[in-house]
């Protein structure tokens, strides 16, 4: 997503686990990583 000052905002996101996958993750005592913060890049 372009910004007003010419840089680019990139927002990496992970999908949420489906209910059946969430059940398996819970049984294995695993958790998905937290969402990363958005990153801003200057155009080169």
Dihedral of the CA atoms 32, 37, 16, 8 (nearest 10)?
Answer: -140
Q: Is residue 1 part of a domain?
A: no
Does 34 map to a domain?
yes
Asked if residue 24 is part of any domain, the answer here is yes
Domain count within the chain: 1
Report yes or no on 33 lying in a domain. Answer: yes
* Nearest residue to 14 (alpha-carbon basis) of 32, 41, 27: 32
pTM beyond cutoff 0.85? no
Q: Does residue 21 lie within any of the structural domains?
A: yes
14-41, pLDDT tens digit by residue?
667 889 988 999 999 998 877 777 777 7
Question: In the prediction, which pLDDT does 3 show?
Answer: 83
Q: For residue 37, tell me if it sits in a domain.
A: yes
What does the pLDDT read at residue 16?
78
Print the domain residue range for 15.
7-42
């Amino acid at each position: 997503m372009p910004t007003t000052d010419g840089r680019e905002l990139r927002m990496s996101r992970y999908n949420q686990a489906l209910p059946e996958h969430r059940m398996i993750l819970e049984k294995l005592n695993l958790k998905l990583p937290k969402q990363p913060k958005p990153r801003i890049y200057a155009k080169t």
